[in-house]
Structure 1
Amino acid sequence: MSTTIRHLILFGLLTLAPIMPTMVHAAGTTCSSPIIAMVTGPAINVSNNAAIGDVIGTLTTSFPGGANPNCTSTGTPGGNVYFGGGFLGSAPDLGPTYGNGGHLYATTIPGVGFRVNITGGSSIFWGYIPSPFMPYQITTGVAARQVLVELVKIGPITQGGALSGDIAYFQMTDSNGAYTTRYVTYQWSSSVVVTLKSPACSVSTPSVKVGMGVVANPHVAVGQTFDPVDFNVQLNCSVGDVGQSTSVYMTISDATNAGNTSNILNLGASSTVTGLGIQLVRNGTPVSFGPDSAVVGSQNQFSVSSTTGGTINIPFTARYIATSNTVTPGVVNAFATFTFAYQ
């Protein structure tokens, strides 16, 4: 994964609000087809410095195609056949510790568990699952539910990954056991990814001015370089979790000619001198210019370093390079931009 240096990965919380059935029914019960509800969300950036038992993310769910659970019954209201249901966990049950009144369940990522909180609608099913079987003496009915899936740190988080598998389900059963169905099943979407907190960097020298000085000798050979001036670009990077590092990449672009991929910077329109260009040198080698892109691996992008946090200094040398055997005196202005990406 790559991103520009200006975009940090931050922990966020989302709420989810699916439509959930309560219960229903008497004799002659029929329900619409079982539903699979996918729990979705952006990548969750977690810190291993969080305390055991802390909520490290809250996720959202959705019904495919806007489906709405519905059950009907031909029975008579007030009859003696009950129909009810309850919310149950599908993943390995870790027991009530950190369940906040319910149970905690395992994910496929070591150190990360989850709990499911039912809110809204009738208070019959409020709270954290598992919820008990609750009988109803109702002919028909569905009720809106809010379901919060909370990720909880339960141990050292040594790796990230994509969450997968079943989370929980809502099961409906009549009092005689004649009708039982797993009516709604919640599953992790492939988009739910947990990543460990890595160092994130910001540019502390967003604008750099380099004074090149006056050319003393107008008679030069093509390709001759002279009058070097050192300058520095600096990044400040936050400290990530133990064992996490960030690889930093940089692209320098010609602001006058965006298509320039050579190692000679074009002079700006306000320049009046002729016969000169400017080179930027890093580690003894002229830098070739590339497109202004934050995608890792873009043309003429180069690796700066890998960091676990702290300050990164990137030294350069700017120098004149003769593009003609004769230099005409005048004003020199040239402009370059730099873009960072990290992975």
Structure 2
Amino acid sequence: MRTLHKLGMRVLCVLGLLVIAGQALATCTGTTTTSPFTPAQVSINKNTPVGQVVSSATVTLTVTCNGSSAVGNGWAMNYTPQAPLQSGQMVLNAYGTSMAGLGYQMFGTGGVLISPTTYGTNGGDNFGPSGMGPKHLAGLNSTSTYQFSLNLVRTSTSLTAGTFSDSLVRFGYQDGNYGCGPSLGTCTSQFGNEITTPVVFHFVNPACTITTDTANQVVSLPKASTADFAAVGAIAKPTNFKISLQDCVTQTIVSMQLDGNTQLPTVLSNTGTARGMGVQLTRNGAPVSFGQVMTIGNVGNATTMDIPFTAQYYRTGAMSGGTVLSAATITMSYL
């Protein structure tokens, strides 16, 4: 009886080892490489639009599968974002990150946008060589390479300053039958996290500077004669000039105000010797009202801006010959 008992134990042990060895044959191994995020230094301000891409990187995943004992007929790859989705990110097709106001968009082969799902963990999903979703399986015995683009985007105005370097997404695989056999604990296996290189965000106040050559300029109007002005209100000799801005913080909203001694709300007084004459400035064909703030516009992603104007003579009353001299000061404001 002792001999039979020992023999039975040996048989059970051998069978157990065979079962374990059979399960171990069905595996996939993967390697993940991520290019550095560029730019690594990002300047933002309060006007940086929500949804704007601020830095990008590329992830390459190579997977080799051995499926000699798999239950299904292929392998489903999967990606799992590492942070929960935040309010408003689904509208931007963006996944969450651990940094307030920062998310990321994910693109597959050919630049196809991969939108967050409503059913996967943190918006994740399955994928395979032929596309996204659970039906696109890699072969049981295969090697596949997948490439993804990750774009960091501003998802709310709460993104200000700081350094971001957390992992964004984890990749893994599972048996294509999704039941994963009797051992549900081995349903999904992970390859590891995508590694994010640091991205430093700087919050800067909106600003520009006026170029030296246009900050203090003299606009010379051609000579005119009294015959050029048939009546009060007549204008002559329009001459174009511009105010140029440089070193602008992107997305800066520019406003300006022109001030000076005026005869009329839109006509500068003449301090020269001619009588019945003033100088009018126009912008986009409309007279400039002195002492009033004008919204010029947003510089967008540029760092320079030209603001064109036209100066012209303006008859204000009875005329006599002489010189015409007027002056205006410029006040810039930035939001």
TM-score, structure 1 length as denominator? 0.41
Q: Where is the helix percentage greater, Structure 1 or Structure 2? A: 2
TM-score, structure 2 length as denominator? 0.42
Whose relative contact order is higher, 1 or 2, with alpha carbons under 8 Å and at least 6 apart?
1
